[in-house]
Structure 1
């Protein structure tokens, strides 16, 4: 649930900063020194973490938290935020996202400015004042028992399939690879049989789109779960049924406004716990590869403290 706290017993350890130099296709690479200066105005020393790979970035965040960082800041997009959340979720270490990525859905949907310098100022002010807001996260439990946190949306339908296709392709590079993956998967489009247990109630659906949202949007502003609220202790589940290619192409633009939920083939639900199963689907959470279905997704109220 959303809560505002102020703590006079402020930790004095460094603010750890995870920065992704490739976020936003590198357009904001030169901003980091300015962002560090802005964050230092919060009255704490600032330490930029060394991380050249995603695995090393996640490990560096865990190490910083274990070593007593007073806060963790992610400079990047949703993927960078996702890595950082694995270290701070469920802890008392506050977190701040500075949005410089192609998709910044978690930062924007939880109230941070879209301008990275302005976001850094907000985080610095919260550090200075000892202020934080607790918001919910989604927790994914895979079939093998492993767990992963996410902030925005878990995709388990067409968009997840496209991501999986794009990640297997070595050509072309850049955004054209994703565009080509969309064309390939559109040509192969078929509905799949999903089983959902929502707080213990079973639903079966033949569907093309399935999303489980803690926040409303993913993919840089696509409001797939338009009514999701990261402060209500619930997950929003949106299921798009037996779309054919033409219908999916017509519906897809409406997702940016969230008006797709009015389509007769779309169903929306809300639950604290979502058990989701289908054959041959790998889920993506915050745009990052998460786990093969089946999975259990749980809304965890107040799982992270945001510096805002």
Structure 2
């Protein structure tokens, strides 16, 4: 049981190819020096990890710290979102988009020092989160970006593939889906205003980037109470391939075929697309996404 004078740590052993193993002892020592008992949550699967986070919060933990990448953060957010439990991030993943967006140091032990200092001083920063619900009413929290276009289609393809292993599987999925690229018919509702359009890219961002630094929603601010929505008109395979490198700097939004919006609540509908939030599978469209201002008490 995790008590009120304890901090729970969710550590993903696979994040960043095992980089957390060198960071975890230093994080535990720093948190302990702040006057808290530290309990590391051990779980063999993502489902077990999320359940362990929920148990820690239910048992009254003072804080939950995620040691890993965006996938680890996503699991932990399901337990701490919209609660009084503080949350810390120590980034050691391949992609650390949420941590970067909320001002967490990319150097793990510097981030650990900041979490420990915030705990010791009793301070936190309020950060917005997004909540996505599917047609059945099932909901999930996410911190960074929901993909509902070409990138989501690629993720779905990659997850169905058994080979090759590692990043090459995603690269192959991109090539296969580019070969069959076609516009999808979308219905997009922004704070009750509905529009219909054909498109190839749709993203809803609480933060700016996904996929390890691709700034798909470059102006998104996780403290403004709004979601940023970026959509792209029908594009050829060549045009899309040329546009993708511009995502790193966020300059794709200057292209006249790319459109940006802001809203508190977004509903996206299209046939045959499964949405992905923080890189994790959410479910088939239609999806309803709402911004919940200040839903996270971030230690930094």
Q: CA deviation at 1:32?
A: 1.3
| Residues 78 and 101 in structure 1, CA contact (< 8 A), matched pair in contact too | yes
Partners of 2:248 and 2:34 in 1: CA distance: 35
| Residues 184 and 270 in structure 2, CA contact (< 8 A), matched pair in contact too | yes
Partners of 1:112 and 1:42 in 2: CA distance: 19
User: What's the counterpart of residue 89 of structure 1?
Assistant: 81
Partners of 2:185 and 2:196 in 1: CA distance: 7
1:56 paired to 2:48: yes
Q: CA deviation at 1:108?
A: 1.0
User: What's the counterpart of residue 246 of structure 1?
Assistant: 238
Partners of 1:305 and 1:28 in 2: CA distance: 23
4+ residue runs over 3 A deviation = none
User: What's the counterpart of residue 27 of structure 1?
Assistant: 19
Partners of 1:205 and 1:124 in 2: CA distance: 48
User: What's the counterpart of residue 228 of structure 2?
Assistant: 236
Query: Any idea what the Cα deviations from partners look like across 1:163-195, whole Å, max 9, x if unmatched?
Result: 111111111111111111111111111110110
User: What's the counterpart of residue 170 of structure 1?
Assistant: 162
- What RMSD in Å do the two structures reach over aligned CA positions? 1.0
Question: TM-score by structure 2 length?
Answer: 0.98
Counterpart of 1:211 in 2: which secondary structure?
A: strand
Partners of 2:210 and 2:50 in 1: CA distance: 21
Query: Any idea what the Cα deviations from partners look like across 1:35-86, whole Å, max 9, x if unmatched?
Result: 2112222221110001110000000000000011100000000000000000
| Residues 38 and 117 in structure 1, CA contact (< 8 A), matched pair in contact too | no
Counterpart of 2:106 in 1: which secondary structure?
A: coil
| Residues 239 and 268 in structure 1, CA contact (< 8 A), matched pair in contact too | yes
Counterpart of 1:131 in 2: which secondary structure?
A: coil
1:195 aligns with one of 164, 180, 187:
187
Which runs of 5 or more residues in structure 2 are unaligned?
Answer: none
User: What's the counterpart of residue 214 of structure 1?
Assistant: 206
Which runs of 5 or more residues in structure 1 are unaligned?
Answer: 1-10
Partners of 1:30 and 1:178 in 2: CA distance: 28
1:223 paired to 2:215: yes
User: What's the counterpart of residue 148 of structure 2?
Assistant: 156
1:137 paired to 2:123: no
User: What's the counterpart of residue 47 of structure 1?
Assistant: 39
Partners of 2:210 and 2:44 in 1: CA distance: 25
User: What's the counterpart of residue 5 of structure 2?
Assistant: 13
| Residues 4 and 59 in structure 2, CA contact (< 8 A), matched pair in contact too | no
1:123 paired to 2:121: no
Partners of 1:209 and 1:200 in 2: CA distance: 21
Q: CA deviation at 1:256?
A: 0.6
Partners of 1:48 and 1:93 in 2: CA distance: 16
User: What's the counterpart of residue 3 of structure 1?
Assistant: none
Q: CA deviation at 1:12?
A: 4.3
Partners of 1:255 and 1:196 in 2: CA distance: 22
| Residues 224 and 238 in structure 1, CA contact (< 8 A), matched pair in contact too | yes
Counterpart of 1:103 in 2: which secondary structure?
A: coil
Partners of 2:212 and 2:33 in 1: CA distance: 29
1:108 aligns with one of 100, 113, 122:
100
Partners of 1:269 and 1:189 in 2: CA distance: 24
